[in-house]
């Protein structure tokens, strides 16, 4: 009986201690996030890089179309050459939104490297054209799509460097190019480098 009481006391103490160790879940204020840096890429890195790229593109004047109006932009391949599983839209979407809001560019989703980004614009044409169930005046006509003028491509590169037995350094290169599709000439290019240093125990992937 005495032993059972002891076990119960230890178990109770353990339960109390462990319940106190649980980390509370909180919402992160994304506009004022003072969380510690991580060795991998996080949203702050994508946000800062997108910000720099948009600023650089607008400052360069490469988006000023001769005679006014807006360029039509297509998103080309953004290569993820890092050890991390990255959806490159984390970067590209921010840039697209920034450029769209600048009033200088409109992005086409009807063309893309691996086919249309939004397949519906082509699908509706195939399915609805000549379909008696649909008022043909409301179906998108032939020759209405606008071909892109510019193509945005890029690459994210990672380099890991061992500093000493306990420290590593990770360098991330964000490289982007804006190509005039008509001539094949790059109107604008830029690169942003992010460097991180931390423990060898931290995984940079």
List residues near another protein by CB under 8 A.
Answer: 31, 34, 47-48, 50-52, 54-55, 58-59, 61, 64, 94, 97-98, 101-103
Complex with another protein: residue 64 or 123, whichever CB lies closer: 64
Minimum gap (Å) between residue 157 Cβ and another protein: 21
Q: Which two tokens stand for residue 193?
A: 């480098």
Helix extents (H) in 37-192 = 43-60, 89-102, 120-128
Say which DSSP state 138 is in.
G
Q: How far apart are CA 47 and CA 172, in angstroms?
A: 14
Minimum gap (Å) between residue 61 Cβ and another protein: 7
- List the strands of the sheet with 167-180, edge to edge: 105-107, 71-81, 150-162, 167-180, 185-199
Complex with another protein: residue 74 or 194, whichever CB lies closer: 194
Minimum gap (Å) between residue 127 Cβ and another protein: 37
Minimum gap (Å) between residue 102 Cβ and another protein: 5
């Amino acid at each position: 009986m005495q032993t059972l009481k002891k076990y119960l006391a230890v178990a109770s103490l353990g339960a109390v201690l462990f319940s106190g160790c649980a980390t509370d879940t909180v919402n992160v204020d994304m506009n004022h996030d003072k969380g510690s840096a991580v060795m991998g890429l996080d949203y702050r890195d994508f946000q800062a890089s997108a910000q720099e790229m948009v600023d650089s593109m607008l400052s360069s004047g490469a988006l000023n179309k001769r005679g006014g109006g807006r360029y039509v932009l297509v998103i080309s391949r953004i290569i993820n050459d890092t050890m991390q599983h990255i959806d490159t839209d984390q970067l590209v979407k921010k840039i697209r939104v920034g450029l769209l809001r600048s009033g200088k560019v409109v992005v086409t989703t009807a063309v893309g490297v691996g086919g249309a980004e939004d397949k519906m614009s082509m699908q509706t044409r195939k399915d609805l054209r000549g379909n008696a169930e649909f008022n043909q005046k409301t179906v998108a006509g032939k020759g209405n799509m606008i071909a892109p003028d510019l193509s945005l491509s890029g690459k994210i590169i990672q380099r890991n460097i061992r500093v000493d037995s306990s420290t590593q350094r990770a360098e991330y290169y964000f490289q982007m190019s804006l190509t005039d599709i008509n001539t094949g000439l790059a109107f604008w290019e830029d690169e942003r480098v992010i460097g991180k240093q931390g423990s060898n125990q931290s995984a940079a992937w």
